[in-house]
Chains A and B, each alone.
Chain A
Amino acid sequence: MTALRRLGDGWGMLVLPLAAFLLVVFVYPLASVLARSLTDPEPGLGNYAAFFDSPVYLDVLGNTFVTAGLVTLVTLLLGFPYAYLMTVARPFWRGVLMAAVLVPFWTSLLVRTFAWVLLLRDTGVVNALIPGEPVPLLRNLAGITIGMVQVMLPFAVLPMYATMRGIDRRLLRAAEGLGATPVFAFWRVYAPLALPGVAAALLLVFVSTLGFYVTPALLGGPKDVMIGELIVQQLSGVLRWGFASALAVILLLVTGALLLVASRLVDLRKMIGSGS
């Protein structure tokens, strides 16, 4: 009662439209997916049993995690120096770097993914630049990774840049004055201060990558099926709606568990906030 009254007597009212919207487009569909996974084609845990009984499906789940881990690793390795460069660049170049991250972000995912097909196929631009036999870059893990890393880079660069921008670079100078080599100063001072941004990027990229569909579908091969593709297959291919729902629930639960563990290890609120 008191909570409701507190909501009612002021600005709290402003959250009601969003709450209603979320209720309709998020909570309700989620509940119906959960319900369908437990009732279609017949009530019970059959869909879940089918998943855990078959090594094929477990492989897909495992592959999803491996791919997401690889993509996350590569994205962070590329994104960290990029974000760092943005913090030290002059305003003009910072703008250029920012645009280079954001412009693809604003371009259709489908268009970008097809562009990668053209670039990466055996007769594509990339292979034209590599002498000798064409290197297989499409329909395999390499293709998936390249495509997804490019999609995920903004999600890694932006939170890391936000954190790094707030780091007082004079601290590095102070550290060097106290006898630290630049490398020592980087690991003992800069890296720990950048960690909240890195952790935010890691979670954001990993969790987003787990549910990817378009990119692995177009750039991956038959061995690299991710759970998102499996869901679509089950839905539109073999029309096992109940099983597809169970897959979605499993993905959601695993992701949720992951976030829970992560929140134990690091302060999520701090990461999403200023990171200071």
Chain B
Amino acid sequence: MTGAVDVRAVTKRYPGSLALDEVSLHVAAGEFMTLLGSSGSGKSTLLNVVAGFTEPTSGSVLVDDADITGVPPHRRELGMVFQHYALFPHMNVFENVAFPLRRRKVRGAELRRRVGDALEVVELGALGERRPAQLSGGQQQRVALARAIVFQPRVLLMDEPLGALDKRLREQLQLEIKRLHRELGITFVFVTHDQEEALTMSDRVALLREGRIVQVGTPQELYETPASRYVAEFLGESNLLDEDGGLLLVRPQHLRIGPPDGPGLRAVVREVIYVGGGLRIEVERPGGQRLVARTTVRPEELPRPGDEVVAHWSEHDSVNVPA
């Protein structure tokens, strides 16, 4: 399999800001890698450096062990999908998807077959004659996907491709992109600021913060053994407890709320909310710190705001986080 991407010590400096600070990242061939981070953390810059739209101040980019740092984007053979679709408004869907093939001198029956196949893959086979303006956002992004894969690139780069869609469409397209990844077997580098999206879609996630990668790993690794407080707080809800110099992480589903005479941390119930078929209980410790517990089983006695309780957890459900 081909399509391994190697980012080596890439720095990108803009006047007045350091967008990427010595970033190194290896993406294995065929892997689904997500670049996750809040707005301004450098995700797009990193993706654009790989795509060739942005020249790094220093460092290099390799695809399948070939250094492509100075190669212009049109010679990199990488597919790219943007948040704003970037469909050509003067061409119909067919011509949009045919664009990369025409550039590569594919003609006639083969052109029609390959465009048709790509449109089938994104389930838009019947819409070839439409103009982009006549399509919904979700359909437009599928056309953009078809256009990005029709020339069989080794790597598909996506910059917040679902960012402009509403929640339901987003979830549907998440599944389709996962399926596409399985079917094509090529490397996907996916950018998002949505941690849930990153966790559900990726083989591995690289979390960026202020132009640096703070942790790379499988979704499970990032969620269960975060390398820092920042990572723990970025991914899902977390209870972080200071414990003699260290930091202890207990995820809300592992925190239990019990009667005040038991062992654990003393706290007062502040809020009890039903969410998604379970309970979300927020309690406050004497110092003012809030803890969150999530449970699907109803405790024998439903705590009420103002109740004195203790919060406790089993040893093996807590994780030490490097401070």
Contacts and interface: CB of A to CB of B under 8 A. Distances in A.
Interface of A: 168, 170-171, 173-182, 184-185, 188-189, 192-193, 276
A180 B88 contact: no
Contacts of A177: 51-53, 73-74, 78-80, 148
A243 B252 CA distance: 95
Contacts of B53: 173, 176-177
Contacts of A178: 74, 79-80, 99-100, 103, 147-148, 151
A176 B80 CA distance: 10
B302 interface: no
Contacts of B151: 178-179
Given A173-B53, A176-B72, A178-B148, A189 B88 contact: yes
A184 B80 contact: no
B104 A179 contact: yes
B82 interface: yes
A182 B78 CA distance: 16
A174 B103 contact: no
A192 B90 CA distance: 7
Nearest to B77: A179
B86 A174 contact: yes
A189 to B, nearest CB: 6
Nearest to A172: B86
Nearest to A174: B86
A236 to B, nearest CB: 50
B84 interface: yes
Given A176-B53, A179-B77, A179-B100, 19 more contacts: A171-B86, A171-B88, A173-B86, A174-B82, A177-B51, A177-B78, A177-B79, A178-B79, A178-B80, A178-B103, A178-B148, A179-B74, A179-B75, A180-B74, A180-B103, A182-B74, A184-B103, A185-B74, A189-B90
Nearest to B157: A177
Contacts of A189: 88, 90
Given A174-B82, A178-B151, A180-B74, A193 B89 contact: yes
A188 B99 contact: yes
Interface of B: 51-53, 72-75, 77-80, 82, 84, 86, 88-90, 99-100, 102-104, 147-148, 151
B111 to A, nearest CB: 14
A276 B90 CA distance: 9
B114 to A, nearest CB: 14
Contact of B80 (A174, A182, A188): A174
14 contacts: A168-B84, A175-B88, A177-B51, A177-B78, A177-B80, A178-B74, A178-B79, A178-B80, A178-B99, A178-B148, A180-B103, A192-B90, A193-B89, A193-B90
A192 B89 CA distance: 10
A28 to B, nearest CB: 43
A66 B104 CA distance: 41
A205 B77 CA distance: 43
Contacts of A176: 53, 72-74
A243 to B, nearest CB: 48
Contacts of A170: 82, 84, 86
Nearest to B102: A188
B228 to A, nearest CB: 34
Contacts of A174: 80, 82, 86, 88
A193 B89 CA distance: 8
Contacts of B80: 174, 177-178
A276 B88 CA distance: 12
